[in-house]
Amino acid sequence: MTKAERVRKNIKESAVNLFGRLGYEKTSVDQIARLARKAKASIYYHFDSKLSIYRDVMEDEFRTLRKSLEDVRERCTEDEAECLSEYLMVRMEEMLKMPIYANYMKDRIVNHTLGEVSRTVRSIRKDFDEWEYRYFRHVGEVGIRKGVFSDRVYPDMFARMLVNILKGLEIQLFVTDDRDALRSTYEAMVEILIYRNPALVVCRQANESQNDKE
């Protein structure tokens, strides 16, 4: 790691600290510089603008979120419903470890307008959504083929719906901070998504009554 990279990293650490606690507007470049023990002008040697620092650390947050979710995907490949449930739980926990994004969400809700900052975050978020859409569609394809989910929904519909529902619940998560409420909501959602094939239900009931007799 070169010296320049080390300095850049140091600046980013200061930025994470401040953006995470104060948000974009309330953090000044001078403050980042002081915390990184550099002059304000030095910050502009390593970064183009305040916004580019913000974008950089925000991207990092989403990168580590992706990494965590990739781990879940690899770890769990058996039952699609179980898998999805686990995925959503980890997703929630990891999102609560994203202070900069959480702060942005809160700011957005109360201030209603952040201009170019919003545009930047939306672009990062769009990449993440598309990445996640691809996964959901894959889960949908496999799940529908196996009969775990109803074959009346197409994988594309299935994935799009999930992405949008999760976006809504996310706001709730950051505003209320009530992870337990969200957990049960996720569980209920997965439960509803699972296709209760009438034939299978009858079959299962038959099995159970047979087990009772034994």
Partner DNA sequence: ATACTTTTCGAACAAAACGGTCAGACAGTA
Partner DNA sequence: TACTGTCTGACCGTTTTGTTCGAAAAGTAT
Catalog residues that contact DNA under the rule CB under 7 A: 2-4, 7, 27-31, 38-46, 48-51
Closest CA to 107 of 16, 64, 171: 171
The span from the CA of 66 to the CA of 162, in Å, is: 17
- Which residue from 18, 7, 3 is spatially nearest to 43, judged by alpha carbons? 7
Q: Which two tokens stand for residue 83?
A: 């898998």
Nearer to DNA, 50 or 137 (CB): 50
* 97 is an interface residue for its own copies by CB under 8 A: no
Taking CB under 8 A as the rule, does residue 76 contact its own copies?
no
Residue placing its CB nearer to DNA in the complex, 49 or 205: 49
CB of 19 to DNA, least distance (A): 11
- Helix H or strand E encompassing 54: helix 50-75
Find which of its own copies, DNA, none residue 7 binds, CB within 5 to 8 Å per kind. DNA
Closest CA to 86 of 68, 63, 64, 60: 68
Q: Are 106 and 174 in contact (CB under 8 A)?
A: yes
Question: Closest separation between CB of residue 175 and DNA, Å?
Answer: 23
The two three-digit tokens of residue 185, written as one number? 């909501």
Which of its own copies, DNA, none sits in contact with 22, Cβ below 5 to 8 A by type?
its own copies
Residue 109: count of CB within 10 angstroms of its CB: 11
Pick from DNA, its own copies, none: which does 189 bind, CB < 5 to 8 A by kind? none
Question: What does 110 interact with, of its own copies, DNA, none (CB < 5 to 8 A by kind)?
Answer: its own copies
Q: Distance of alpha carbon 182 from its chain centroid, rounded?
A: 14
Binding mask 101-120 for its own copies (x = CB under 8 A): ---------x----------
Count of residues of this chain found to bind its own copies when the rule CB under 8 A is applied:
4
C-alpha dist (Å) from residue 207 to 82, 147, 148, 195, 212: 22, 19, 19, 19, 9
Contacts (CB under 8 A) with its own copies, residues 18-47: 22, 26, 35
- Which of DNA, its own copies, none is residue 40 near (CB under 5 to 8 Å by kind)? DNA
Where does this chain bind its own copies (CB under 8 A)? 22, 26, 35, 110
